[in-house]
Amino acid sequence: MSPDELLALDAEHVWHPYGPMPGRVESLLVTEASGVRLKLADGRELVDGMSSWWAAIHGYRHPVLDAALTAQAAKMSHVMFGGLTHEPAITLARTLVDLTPEGLAHVFLADSGSVSVEVAIKMCLQYWQSVGRGAKRRLMTWRGGYHGDTFHPMSVCDPDGGMHSLWRGTLPEQLFVPEPPAGFDTEPDQAYLDVLAAAIENHADELAAVIVEPVVQGAGGMRFHHPGYLRALRELTEVHGVLLIFDEIATGFGRTGRLFAAEHAGVTPDVLCLGKALTGGYLTMAAALCTAEVAAGISRGEVPVLAHGPTFMGNPLSAAVANASLGLLANGGWAADVARIERGLLAALEPARDLGSVVDVRVLGAIGVIQLDHPVDMATATRVVTEHGVWLRPFRDLIYTMPPYISTDEDVSVIAEAMLAAAAKA
């Protein structure tokens, strides 16, 4: 079929994320992807400044990941995980335990990031039920967060921002404290620490867990906060008998300059959620890791099993590619690449501060953000960045990038130029 025929069918039948049906904006038709570039049906090439929603950290058609996928497909693409197991999943679990903060011992492999959050929440709820404290079934988080689009994760997303307010009255009502003060390098505010302490102390008898995105609040607003707030949460939850969940679906695997954002704070949560970059953006897979204490508590319960089991849990293809992706991280220079990208974005985005509509410019690791004083005009922003040979996906009042780690200095420069142009016109 011709590109026009395909796009006509797309408009008629395909429901795209966060969009109406039928759609109002024609999608760009991608025919190939290689390195950091997307090739469109009309012949244009765009530098992907989004890493395909933050997942394709090694870029596209990476020979190591391609080889892992092909080799595994020649053996088996899938086998049920109930009662059966296989080497790719076993190796992946062992590697994740070795790489993540010390103390996380057990790995539940899930289908997607949102599902891993569902599993993490279920772990915490079932833990307290199993140890005889079933009244502890609420969750606490701070505003400005995003944890996924399935139901329990939606209940801990910002209750007013985004679309999840549509479900007020249907979702469980959780406990929210104000968003953490902004600034990765800004020392923790004692007044805010007192707010966290009071909330956890006053609600400890009903709180199953606190769940937060460490260091970077992603889709909720691309806000950075000081790691000291994570250390405070760890201390407070331990003192008051509340579990702690870190959602590192966006920050895991090097995005903030550390392999995991928790390392900035030097603490270990009770449960850790991973996804997105786990397979290098090739296939969907996520993981919820927990401590031995959490697993043992569930196993002591009246129902001594974790009541969750996705059909494609531990998928061999996904696990094999995830192992290859983690191997690239272990053997490569990802830290130097992320630091190089950070330096490039810091320098190249600085001129945005002189634009009258810009209220903030911030960079951390391979994340660059321009925040405007008004909502971004998506149509205008998309047109401008594609005219500059770049693919970005602005949202709310943000024009941001999370590029693949293999992006060259020239690629970073091109992305930044497109961001500046969009900020001036959108």
Domains of the chain and CATH, by start: 3-61+333-425 (3.90.1150.10), 76-331 (3.40.640.10)
**Token pair listed for 351:** 């001129």
**Token pair listed for 261:** 């954002």
Q: Which residues are catalytic?
A: 18, 146, 247, 276
pLDDT, tens digit, for every residue of 231-269? 999 999 999 999 999 999 999 999 999 999 999 999 999
Q: Is the pLDDT of residue 213 over 70?
A: yes
How far from the centroid of its chain's Cα atoms is residue 190's Cα?
Answer: 28
Mean predicted confidence (pLDDT) in 373-390: 96
Give the whole-angstrom CA distance, residue 61 versus residue 39: 13
Which pTM value belongs to this model? Answer: 0.97
Residue 163: per-residue pLDDT: 67
* Cα separation of the two ends of the chain: 34
Mean predicted confidence (pLDDT) in 133-142: 97
How is residue 283 annotated by DSSP?
Answer: S
Q: How many CA atoms lie within 13 A of 222 on its CB side?
A: 25
Confidence of residue 162 (pLDDT cuts 50, 70, 90): low
Measured on CA atoms in the order 69, 70, 73, 74, is the torsion positive or negative?
Answer: negative
Q: In a 3-state reduction of DSSP, which class is residue 143?
A: coil
Residue 337: per-residue pLDDT: 98
Range list of H helices, 283-377: 292-299, 316-331, 334-349
> Which has the closest alpha carbon to 332: 254, 262, 231, 227?
254
Longest dimension (CA), the chain: 63
332 vs 410, more confident: 410
Residue 19: per-residue pLDDT: 86
Taking CA atoms, 127 is separated from 170, 174, 197, 294, in Å, by 24, 18, 23, 6
